[in-house]
Structures are given as structure tokens and as C-alpha cells.
Amino acid sequence: MDQWVEPCLVLLPGLPALSAALAPLTAAGRPLRAARVSIGLTTATFAVALALLAAVLRAPQGSVTLVQFGPAGLMLDPLAVAMAVLVAGISLIVHVYAKRYMADEPGYARFFALLDAMTAVILLMVTASDLVVLLAAWFLVGVLLYFLLGFDTTREASGRYAFWTFLTFRVGDLPLVAAALLLWHGYGTLQLPELFARVAAQPHLAVGGVPVAATAALLVALAAFARSAQFPLHTWLPYTMDGPTPVSALMHAGIVNAGGFLFNRFAPLFIHTPDVLHLAFVVGLVTALIGSALMLTQNDIKKSLGYSTMGQMGFMIMECGLGAFSLAIYHLIAHGLFKATLFLGSGNVIGDTRKDDGVPADDIYTFVVERRPLRAVKVPWLLAALITVLVPAVVLGLSHWLVAADFFHKQGAVVLLFFGWVTGAQVFFAIHKLPSENPWRSLTFVLLSFVIVVIGYTVIAHAFEMFLYPDPVMRDATYAAAGINLLVFDLLIVAVTVALVGAWLVTFYAQSLDLEGRPGTLWHAVYLNLYALFSREFYVSDVYLRLSRAAVDSAKRVNVALRWM
């Protein structure tokens, strides 16, 4: 690469670190100076990230730039630069938003210094070339997030939940530290490129009877689960909404979605450990289902967005478990930009809703809310069923066949197509249920939108995969590692399909089935228990609370018995 790349790589985390030091010093008597300095240097950081992206795009495929400072160092590769552009871009938006949003808050300059320090540490994490720098940055992200979430020291809830997040992150740090020690002891190097080369040469190396690669991969996955709010370590995420809104948006710039980055950074390790990928798929799937369900039962917009993030992080980890590592990064970037925007706009939504619910009294409102029948034309059910089932399958199949004919030979790719088909079919199914005087026009608009979205998504995702993993051997190895027995795979697909079709039928006939049941009946009791289960968020927080109280009581008894108190 060009000679200017190495200085720019150093400036990438260096500029926000400089801003974190200068912002409080320049704010004496004029707090707005801190915001101006911070925004200016963050803008420069984003420009440096874009320049590095241009350099990586011009460089030969597979080239990596290393900058060493003794045993530590920085690394520039496609994964690092993609994450750097995301982090710097979201950080800049959050800085501009916070300039006015936090204007009346005490500690204005301190807030911008913390934002800058967080940006610097995340950029250091994504560009780390060795395990020591990666571990240090990974740990500091949790520490700085604690101070950002508990920024308002007058709110007891903010401090309590910030400490809860801090403890969860520390639990997730321990497996990563253990993985780093095991890899260093087994392969004798801390440098990531050299480490992955030695793992490829000796994937089945064992130390003291313990398989190094498999055990380290499991530990890295556990660290990713804790950081990305996977079930049952998800409870910290919805309750971080008591922190400042800019922090909630910044969390989507390499904090809560850092699990996807960690899986991709250690992808050469995971291709030798298929069992860990299968575990990631199961954990991600459970997290996605629970997060999506709990999102629909919240009456607080920010908490609902928090559970939505949990569900999306489940999908991201599930994609890693399918071997679609590049798709997880694409998902990470798209969701980060989208969800950060939603968080920054949540205050306006709350304010507008207090004045007006914003629901127009149109046909859909009359049908859904007031339950009044409409004079509407519906597509014949058999034709609607064929459209619902066949159209998404044809559009998805043709779009992926055009960009990669061998896409259908990978089990992970087939599962992704399956979930895409489910999503598309659900859209057509929902449109068919809504009354309309011209259902064909509605279906036509939905079809055109679906085709545009799918084709754009397919082309971008395929190009992104070629950018992150230009080596076709590596791409095939990731999908192959996620494969399972063919018979079991087919049976699972059939079982899930039957379950989804059954759920659609139940939803379609929900009113006639009387799902709530009559009071006093068994079905009514089941319905109430399910409602309590969702409203209490599966009682996970209650279980943790009881365990913590039991631990404190046990500690008191030990202190009394040993006469420490």
C-alpha cells in the first residue's frame, strides 16, 4: 500500500484519543468549545477512515498493512477498515446530535471526552494486530461504557444498570482472556496473522490433552455471546436505556455488535471447530426469537428498541453459526446505522405521541383498532397462497443464482434463503389479511418493493463477501464448517416449515379460534400464563436477582462464621 497509509492507521485511534484529552482543557468557561473541538477531530477521524478505505480498495486483494510498536501493533485489512468507517461515521453523527441534546446537562465537556475516548478504544479494538491490544481495548470498552451509561449521577437507576452492564461485560471478558492465554501457550505467538497461520498448519494441536483451537474457539464464542446480549446474558441490554440517548445510539458502533466482529476476526479459528459454529447458530436462533417476541410486548419505545437490538444481534450470531461471516458484518453495519437513527429519533416520536397518536382514521385503522368490517375485495385464498409461497422463493432463488451459481450447494446459504423466504412470505401473507378496495394494486407495490430490496441486498452482500474474504477457499471453508448431516438438515427444514405454516393458519383464524378462551377454562389459564411469561420477560431477571441475593446471604453467613464481621 501507499506510504501514507501507516501514519493514517496510527491517526485513526490517535485523533479521537487526542480529542478526549483536549476537549475538557479547552472548555474552561465555554463548554461549547469542547463540542466544537470534539466534532472537528471526529470529522477528521471519519475522513481518515474513508481515506484508508480507498487505499484498501486500490490495494491487491488479501494485502494487510501492519504497524508495530514493539510487541503491540495495529493492522489494516478489509475487516478493520469496514468497521472503522462504521465506528467513525456513527460517532460523528452522535457527536453532532449530542452538541444540542446534552447542552443543559452538567458535565458537558466530560461527556464529549468520554465519547471521544470510547471512539478511540473501539477503533483500537478493530485495528488490533495482536491479542494484547485486542484484550486491552475489549476491556476498556466495558469500562468506558459504564461511565457513559452512568453519566447522570443523580439517577439511581442509571448507576445501577450501568454497574449491571459492567459486571456482565466482565463475565464475558474472562473467556476471551482464557482463550488468549491458551492460544499463546499452544502456538507461541500473540500476533494475529502469525497465530492464524500456525492454527492452519496445526489445527488439532493439544496441550495437556486439551485441544487448543477447539477450546479457544468456544471461549471466544462465549465472550461474543456476553458482549452481544445473547440469551441468557441479554438482561443488561434493555436496561441500558436509562442512559443518555446518544449513548444508546453509540452502542451500535462496535459495542453491542462487537460479537459479530469477534467471530470474523477469529474466522480462521472457527473453520476448524464446526461444533462451536453449531452452538452459535442455536444460541443466535433462540436469542432472535426471544428478543423479537419481547420487543412486541414493551410499552416503552427505547426498551422496545433495546429488545429489537437483542433480536438482531441473535440473527447476526446465527449468521456466523451458518458460516456466513461476511453477511454478519453486513448485517452489523446496516443494523448499526438503522438502529442508531431510530434511537436518535426516539425523543421526537415520544414528544409527537404525547400530542397526537398519529394514527389516521383510514381503512386499516378502522379495521385493526375499531374492529369495524369494511367493504373490501380480497384475492381468492388459493391464488393468495400460491403468491405467498412461490413469489418469494422465485425472487430469492433467481437473485442469488445470478450472482453465485454455486450458492445453493452450501447448507448455510440454504438456511439463509429459507429465512428470507419466510420473511417474504410473511409480508405477502400480512398484506393479504388487510382489507383493501384494490388488493391487486397493493400486491403489485409489495412485489416491486420486495424485488428491489432482495436484488439490491443480494448484489451488495455478494460484493461485500468478495471484499472481506477474497480467497474462495476461505469462503468455502466457512460454509463447510457449518454443515451438518444431510438427513438431519432436511428434517429440520421440513419441521420448521410445518411449524411456520401452522403458525400462519392460527394467525389467519385467530378470531374464530378464540385464543384467549373463556374464563375458568384450561386454555384461558394457559393464555394468562403465557401473557405473564412475556410480560415478566421470561423471569430471567428475577432468577438473577434471587441468585444474587442468595450469594450475598451466603457471603454474610461465611463472614459471621469466620468472624470477619
User: Residue 53 is which amino acid?
Assistant: L
> Best-predicted range by mean pLDDT among 279-293, 380-394, 460-474?
279-293
341: left (phi over 0), alpha (psi -120 to 50) or beta: alpha
Residue 83: Cβ within 10 Å count: 28
> Between 293 and 7, whose confidence is greater?
7
Residue 360: pLDDT over 80: no
Question: What confidence category does residue 435 fall into, taking pLDDT thresholds of 50, 70 and 90?
Answer: low
> Best-predicted range by mean pLDDT among 60-69, 176-185, 320-329?
176-185
Question: What confidence category does residue 174 fall into, taking pLDDT thresholds of 50, 70 and 90?
Answer: very high
Closest to 394 (Cα-Cα) out of 402, 384, 383: 402
pLDDT tens column, 125-139: 999 999 999 999 999
* DSSP code string of 308-328: HHHHHHHHHHHHHHTT-HHHH
pLDDT tens column, 463-514: 888 888 888 888 888 888 877 776 777 777 777 777 766 766 666 565 555 5
Instruction: Provide the 3-class DSSP secondary structure of residue 39.
Output: helix
In the chain, domain spans: 1-129, 160-358, 375-513, 520-565
CA distance 409 to 407: 6
Identify the weakest region by mean pLDDT among 45-54, 281-290, 333-342, 403-412: 403-412
pLDDT of residue 296: 77
Cα within 13 Å of Cα(552), Cβ side:
6
Q: What is the largest CA-CA distance in the chain?
A: 80
CA distance 510 to 248: 37
DSSP H stretches of helix in 128-155: 131-149
User: How many residues are listed for the chain in this entry?
Assistant: 565
User: Residue 455 is which amino acid?
Assistant: I
CA distance 261 to 126: 8
The reply to whether omega before 232 is within 30° of 0 (cis) is yes
Residue 361: Cβ within 10 Å count: 9
pLDDT of residue 392: 73
Residue 85: pLDDT over 60: yes
Question: What confidence category does residue 553 fall into, taking pLDDT thresholds of 50, 70 and 90?
Answer: confident
CA distance 337 to 322: 24
Grid cell 453519566 — which residue?
151
Average pLDDT score over residue span 223-238: 87
Instruction: Provide the 3-class DSSP secondary structure of residue 401.
Output: helix
C-alpha cell at 421: 423466504
CA distance 195 to 125: 17
pLDDT of residue 184: 92
CA distance 213 to 199: 7
The percentage of residues in the chain with a pLDDT greater than 90, rounded to a whole number, is 18
C-alpha cell at 54: 480507498
Backbone angles phi, psi at 355, to 5 degrees: -85, -40
pLDDT of residue 516: 57
Contact 179, 152 (CB under 8 A): no
Closest to 46 (Cα-Cα) out of 77, 95, 20, 12: 12
Torsion over CA of 176, 231, 254 and 318, rounded to 10 degrees? 90
Q: Which residues contact 243 (CB under 8 A, 6 or more apart)?
A: 148, 149, 150, 151, 152, 158, 161, 162
62: left (phi over 0), alpha (psi -120 to 50) or beta: left
C-alpha cell at 295: 420487543
Residue 347: Cβ within 10 Å count: 13
Please, which residues bridge with residue 210 across strands?
A: 207
Cα within 13 Å of Cα(447), Cβ side:
16
Instruction: Provide the 3-class DSSP secondary structure of residue 73.
Output: strand
Query: pTM value?
Result: 0.82
